[in-house]
Structure 1
Amino acid sequence: MRPDTAPRYTSYPTAPHFHAGIDAAAVSSWITAIPAGERISLYIHVPYCDRLCWFCACNTKQTNRYEPVTRFLTSLHSEIRTAAALIGNKGKVAALHFGGGSPTLLAPADLISLMQHLRAHFAFADDAVISVEIDPNDITEEKLDALGAIGLTRASLGIQDFDERVQKAINRDQSFEDTKAVVDGLRARGVPSINLDVLYGLPHQTIDSVKATMNEVLSLRPDRIALFGYAHVPWFKKHQTMIDEAVLPDTEQRLAQSLAAAAMIADAGYDIIGHDHFALPQDSLAIAHRERRLRRNFQGYTDDECETLIGLGPSSVSRFRQGYAQNIPATGEYQRRVDTGTLATARGIAFTRDDVLRGWVIERLMCDFAFSAKEALSRFGADANNVLAEAALMAQETEPLLVRIGERYVIPDAQRPLVRVAAARFDRYFATGTARHSAAI
């Protein structure tokens, strides 16, 4: 029997399997082991919003005062200095992503000061990608100027849905006109890449309402579109209990909404990237996909090929060759820790060789809907045989999630909406775990 829920596989092993055995000392040793000349990624988590959207599953809190943000930034500057000192002169930042929460909650002067602090303590590659998650309702002309001043190269705007009934049900008022004004303002300041996030499976959504929103999204001609299924996890995010479950689309309706929206995007000339992203053919994400260099991390699909990702801020996750590490989620405790000049690590997991192997298979399935048996053997030797045997058994099932074509195991086109379910078959933690997950479609 196939599960109707599955992890999103932005990591493997997934976050529910992180544990307190990975601490600041372990992460310090992982950072100091970064090879000389390494290209690294940075992720900055801003844990505040000025409104709480009921659909959101991010680690954030609402604040109507700016004083807590100012206090947080002081601590963040301290964490930046600590992490940079451990790296020394060995690495260069090739990608920097501001997420949240709402990074655009920051005052223009504070955003510019934060970027200056990062550049003062980390060496940046000349071709570094700088991306920011943007809430269009936060944006002013002064903030647009600040985003231009920090060298923004990619903006990601949350839209969710333009239907007023849907917006009211998720506490997210945002007009098309306001969104377009932000997109136009970013382009006027030379930002070369714009991504728009859209959701399906929200309360009161129908195929027609999703298509209406998608028509408006496509009129903005973004470089990328992310089409996410709403993850209803009220046991994890209590504010989602504000959403009436009786008006949520069922699994069949969710699938129909996603397929209708995806068809519209593809018909508009976008390449399909993985199971929920789309990009114009000339975009770097589309190029990486065609060249089978697509990766997946906590920001979703990416062309970022850095092996090292250092997360800064509360709840942020880092990835090293040795494993994952996550910071303390509680902002107050995070601040107390980093203010003393130490890392804020709360938990993580060290990779076994089997984790690396299965993580590679899962990533390739999520990115390419296929993986190469030949490459698995080349990378992992005889250790790959168990996984290849599992794939061979899957290919013999009556309605297989995988079929063998030459030396590749491929998810059939009709089964691609179930890619997360297929990936879960290679997850050695999934069957034994107690974590609850969002809908697989």
Structure 2
Amino acid sequence: MTEHLIRKYAAAVPRYTSYPTAPHFHGGIDSDVYLSWLQKLGAENRLSLYLHIPYCDRLCWFCACHTKHTLKYEPVKAYLHSLHLEIEEVGRHVSGNARVTAVHFGGGSPTMLKPEDMIALMARLRSVFSFSSVEISVEMDPNDLDDGRYDALAAIGMTRASLGVQDFDPKVQASINRIQSFEQTKSVVDAVRARGVHSVNCDILYGLPHQTLETLRNTVQQIISLDPDRIALFGYAHVPWMKKHQTLIPERDLPDISARYRQMTMAAEMLAAAGYEAIGIDHFAKPADTLSRALKDGTLRRNFQGYTDDTADALIGLGASAIGKLPQGYVQNMPATGEYQKMAEGRGLCVTRGLELTDEDRVRGFIIERIMCDFVLDMAEVDSLFGSKAKGAVAQARQFASDDRDGLVTLRGGRFSLTERGKPLARSIAATFDTYLSTGRGRHSVAV
């Protein structure tokens, strides 16, 4: 891709892990609305649970998650008490016939929980919700782990371990305050596999301070040697206006747009050469992995954890700042942990904002998700699902294809398809269907 095209389309746009995106949530969706939505979930619905642990025992400067640094366990213990209360209250309003098919522990650092607390948390979920065959994934920090924690994760039935790596180069690690050796990381992979975990995911970042093609190449080679089932290749999102600790990373130390693009394409080519299949814009998986199978059979989805094969009807977010999605729309809990705990101790439900989906939102959300997942939009499928409600968005897709002079898309036989040139720019192409973006609410990272 030419330098001109990279700069032309590398605008700051959302990652589209939801549509509409979180900056457009509002306070009109509160716990009362959430309660009414929960009560409509029935036996026909499958549920996915996301539990947010907003604490770390070190603060990585690149991180854009809702988390806080603590060297004491007392705040974590108090938070867990509130989380148990919220779980009980939410479960009280959900039909016991609705089945949980996926659980994701995110953070922060879920693995900083003491073994007995992790086991008690999972036991609470199982006592409140009905479980069927379930995938249980946990984000892991190698610096937290010991035999007791490994055994606790095995005891709760963890099926997927997700490890953030970023870059193994010492200079890059020092510049983002994330010290984590290859040997540490390998020891985690070996330990979870020894305990029967069937899937390992590793995250790599490009666009980091002092990162070069050489440091990234070495990191990718080391990750491949671990033989993970999935690999996420994310571009570092520099958003210091939202996360003040990112001001500790001088912008002069970051690679420019062109260098980011070269890093991205080099790493992607290495992963493809190693036998991984590209999934959307930033995930890679072995051909036998369920993510690859979801791509092939058209069931690949995108949610707040990125690309997923989770097709549950509702995502229930639990914990401070957690976001959920129900058939009616999105909800988000109070982000501030202290206020979240007060709400949990009081009423139990902690939603403070969200968004109810309109027909237009559903149409455009579907279009954006298919562009981000499949790089293809089937006009016949859109018409079958939405009929006349999709007329405006379909006309816009046809106009985009007609106006395209850069070779990003084709329109043949009713299929709007991104070309090989257009696929790396899927975020920017998807953004043209975002009717909220022009309102200026929210700032985003660059699309390359």
**1:247-326 alignment to 2 at 5 Å?**
247-326=253-332
**1:3 deviation in Å?**
5.8
Pairing 1:15–2:59 present: no
- Structure 1 runs not aligned, ≥5 long: none
**1:152 deviation in Å?**
0.3
Q: Which residue of 2 aligns with 1:238?
A: 244
Q: Which residue of 2 aligns with 1:350?
A: 356
Q: Which residue of 2 aligns with 1:66?
A: 73
Q: Which residue of 1 aligns with 2:413?
A: 406
Q: For the aligned residues, what is the CA RMSD?
A: 0.9
Give the counterpart of 1:214 among 212, 220, 245.
220
Q: Distance in 2 between matches of 1:286 and 1:410?
A: 19
**1:342 deviation in Å?**
2.8
Q: Distance in 2 between matches of 1:6 and 1:223?
A: 29
Q: Which residue of 2 aligns with 1:77?
A: 84
Q: Distance in 2 between matches of 1:145 and 1:178?
A: 17
Normalised by the length of structure 2, the TM-score is 0.97
**1:433 deviation in Å?**
2.3
**1:400 deviation in Å?**
4.8
Q: Which residue of 1 aligns with 2:434?
A: 427
Aligned partners of 2:41 and 2:95 also within 8 Å: no
Amino acid at match of 1:277: H
Q: Distance in 2 between matches of 1:381 and 1:297?
A: 25
Give the counterpart of 1:92 among 82, 99, 103.
99
Q: Provide, for residues 347-368 of structure 1, a one-character-per-residue CA deviation record: whole Å limited to 9, x for no partner.
A: 0000000000000000000000
Q: Provide, for residues 295-350 of structure 1, a one-character-per-residue CA deviation record: whole Å limited to 9, x for no partner.
A: 00000000000120000000000001100000000000000001123310010000
**1:396 deviation in Å?**
1.4
**1:36 deviation in Å?**
1.9
Helix, strand or coil at the partner of 1:356: helix
Q: Which residue of 1 aligns with 2:3?
A: none
Q: Distance in 2 between matches of 1:165 and 1:4?
A: 29
Pairing 1:198–2:239 present: no
Q: Which residue of 1 aligns with 2:4?
A: none
Helix, strand or coil at the partner of 1:301: strand
Aligned partners of 2:328 and 2:356 also within 8 Å: yes
**1:88 deviation in Å?**
3.1
Helix, strand or coil at the partner of 2:416: strand
Q: Distance in 2 between matches of 1:406 and 1:54?
A: 48
Helix, strand or coil at the partner of 1:339: helix
**1:401 deviation in Å?**
3.5
Q: Provide, for residues 85-114 of structure 1, a one-character-per-residue CA deviation record: whole Å limited to 9, x for no partner.
A: 000313111000000000001001100111
Pairing 1:168–2:199 present: no
Q: Provide, for residues 130-172 of structure 1, a one-character-per-residue CA deviation record: whole Å limited to 9, x for no partner.
A: 0000011111111111111100000100101100000000000
Q: Which residue of 2 aligns with 1:178?
A: 184
Q: Distance in 2 between matches of 1:207 and 1:290?
A: 31
Q: Which residue of 1 aligns with 2:157?
A: 151
Give the counterpart of 1:33 among 29, 34, 40.
40
Helix, strand or coil at the partner of 1:396: helix
Q: Distance in 1 between matches of 2:409 and 2:397?
A: 7
**1:44-63 alignment to 2 at 5 Å?**
44-63=51-70
Aligned partners of 2:50 and 2:104 also within 8 Å: yes
Q: Provide, for residues 1-55 of structure 1, a one-character-per-residue CA deviation record: whole Å limited to 9, x for no partner.
A: 7561110000000000000000000000001011323110000000000000000
Q: Distance in 2 between matches of 1:271 and 1:208?
A: 23
Amino acid at match of 1:47: P
Aligned partners of 1:394 and 1:400 also within 8 Å: no
> How many residues were matched structurally?
440
The runs of at least 4 consecutive aligned structure 1 residues that moved more than 3 Å come to none
Aligned partners of 1:78 and 1:341 also within 8 Å: no
Q: Which residue of 2 aligns with 1:341?
A: 347
Aligned partners of 1:387 and 1:426 also within 8 Å: yes
Amino acid at match of 2:251: E
Q: Distance in 1 between matches of 2:36 and 2:409?
A: 40
Aligned partners of 2:408 and 2:421 also within 8 Å: no
Q: Distance in 2 between matches of 1:187 and 1:2?
A: 41
Q: Distance in 2 between matches of 1:94 and 1:387?
A: 33
Aligned partners of 1:133 and 1:157 also within 8 Å: yes
Pairing 1:134–2:140 present: yes
- Structure 2 runs not aligned, ≥5 long: 1-7
Q: Distance in 1 between matches of 2:395 and 2:10?
A: 21
Give the counterpart of 1:368 among 343, 359, 374.
374
Helix, strand or coil at the partner of 2:422: helix
Q: Distance in 2 between matches of 1:191 and 1:341?
A: 37
Aligned partners of 1:24 and 1:342 also within 8 Å: no
Normalised by the length of structure 1, the TM-score is 0.99
